[in-house]
Each structure stands twice: as C-alpha cells, then as structure tokens.
C-alpha cells in the first residue's frame, strides 16, 4: 500500500526492543508495539486520507498480537535465544524425520530472517512462549500472507516436556482468537506429508486440508 498524497508523514508501526523494568534482572528485554506515526503531524486534506489513516491504525493494532497468551509470557526471539530454541527443537525427532535436515544453530539463525516473497520484516513475528524463564514453544508467524486477510504459521514447535498436555492447542486457540480480533479471516500452514503427529495436531485444532502440493496445505477459518 503506497503513501497517499495528502499524508505528509507516515511511519510503519513496528516492534522495538526496550529495556525491561521488572524482576527479571539486568539485561533482560521486553518487546512492545509502538504507534510510530504521529497523528498531529499528518496533514489531512480530505475524507479519503482520513479513512486511510483510520484503516491503518486498525492494522497497527494487530501488533497487540504480542499479547498472545493469558498463561505464557510472549516475546520476540533473537540471536541471543538460539541456544534455548535449539534445546526446544532438537529433541523433536518425529518432526525432523519428516522435515530434514535436523535443526542446527545455523539453521535457526536463517529461519529467524527467512521471509516469503514480497514480505518485509515488519510482517514477521518469530515468537517465544515462556513459562517464567523456560521456553515452552516457538512460533514463526507471517502476517498478511499469502493474502491480505490470511496469517501464515511457518513453524510451531513445542518442547517435548510440554506435549500431550493440551498446551499447544491452548496456545493456538489464543493466537487464532487474537488474529480474528485483528481482522484476519484465515490462518494457513503447511504440514509435511506422512507426519502423523503434525497432521493429527492441526486437525484437532480445526484446520482443514485445502490443497496438497509439496506439503499438505491446511487452513482454519476464523
């Protein structure tokens, strides 16, 4: 979406890293969404421009997706988290049996930066769900892909110690509810063919098969 001619100043709302003021100790960081356009600096010359600003403010509120869980602390993961992501990922042997090669720290770093064609880093949420300081689950979420009103889950990995307890389903339920509040109509993902564990999990969470290509494409209508 391009900048309308009547809007003098426009800044894409982004997530920035801020020092965390809490009991978590020095050096900890929190991620907060920032409304980074200043309505006082927008020059509106007509109703069309005002509607443009209002619609994009609604879009910005989707950054509240960082408040995805009522039970777990959710934040963006970065390069400093590679070791804990590896510790969650590597024991998931069934996943890598159907989705080789086995995870490495280098592949995690690449996944953190990987984007579909036409998407920017403002559309990517590489998130961790924490119980206190323990990483429970990792999610790679792409907003507005492959269509404007669809979100794409590129990865959802749960620590094996937390599996078969309903935790993954609870996280997905809260994520999809938040996406619905943000105006999304569907959530899409790909499942490796032959992986009974993944297919059963997503089917249980009301995802339906919509296509079979290299992967099984599944969607949930919100």
The pLDDT of residue 18? 32
Q: Can you give the three-state secondary structure of 171-194, one letter per residue?
A: HHHHHHHHHHHCCCCEEEEEECCC
The pLDDT of residue 49? 43
How high is the mean pLDDT in each 10-residue block of the chain (222 residues)? Answer: 30 30 31 25 37 48 69 96 98 96 97 95 95 97 95 97 97 95 95 96 98 95 97
Domain that holds residue 201: 67-221
Task: Say whether both 73 and 177 belong to one domain.
Answer: yes
Task: Say whether both 53 and 71 belong to one domain.
Answer: no
Cα 31 to Cα 34: distance, rounded to the nearest angstrom: 9
Residue 216 and residue 210 in contact, taking contact as beta carbons nearer than 8 Å: no
Task: Say whether both 56 and 76 belong to one domain.
Answer: no
Task: Say whether both 92 and 153 belong to one domain.
Answer: yes
Residue that is last in its domain, among 63, 79, 97: 63
Task: Say whether both 1 and 13 belong to one domain.
Answer: yes
The pLDDT of residue 67? 73
| C-alpha dist (Å) from residue 219 to 54, 152, 208 | 29, 9, 5
Task: Say whether both 108 and 168 belong to one domain.
Answer: yes
What CATH number has the domain bearing residue 91?
3.40.630.30
Task: Say whether both 82 and 188 belong to one domain.
Answer: yes
Cα 139 to Cα 141: distance, rounded to the nearest angstrom: 6
The pLDDT of residue 59? 53
Residue that is last in its domain, among 39, 63, 87: 63
Tokens 């984007």 — which residue? 115
Task: Say whether both 200 and 147 belong to one domain.
Answer: yes
Total domains, the chain: 2
Cα 165 to Cα 159: distance, rounded to the nearest angstrom: 11
Residue that is last in its domain, among 63, 83, 103: 63
């Amino acid at each position: 979406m391009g900048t309308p001619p009547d809007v003098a100043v426009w800044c894409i709302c982004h997530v920035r890293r801020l020092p965390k003021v809490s009991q978590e100790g020095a050096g900890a960081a929190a991620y907060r969404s920032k409304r980074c356009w200043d309505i006082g600096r927008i020059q509106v010359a007509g109703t069309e421009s005002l509607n443009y600003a209002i619609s994009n403010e609604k879009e910005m509120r989707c950054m509240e997706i960082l408040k995805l869980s009522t039970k777990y602390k959710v934040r963006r993961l970065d390069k400093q988290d590679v070791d804990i992501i590896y510790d969650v990922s590597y024991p998931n042997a069934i996943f890598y049996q159907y989705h080789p090669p086995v995870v490495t720290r280098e592949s995690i770093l690449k996944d953190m930066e990987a984007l579909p064609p036409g998407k920017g880093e403002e559309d990517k949420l590489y998130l961790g769900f924490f119980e206190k300081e323990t990483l429970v689950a990792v999610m790679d979420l792409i907003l507005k892909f492959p269509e404007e009103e669809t979100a794409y889950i590129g990865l959802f990995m749960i620590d094996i110690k937390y599996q078969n307890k309903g935790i993954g389903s609870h996280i997905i339920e809260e994520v999809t509810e938040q996406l619905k509040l943000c105006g999304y109509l569907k959530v899409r993902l790909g499942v490796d063919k032959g992986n009974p564990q993944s297919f059963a999990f997503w089917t249980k969470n009301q995802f339906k098969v919509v296509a079979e290509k290299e992967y099984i494409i599944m969607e949930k209508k919100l």
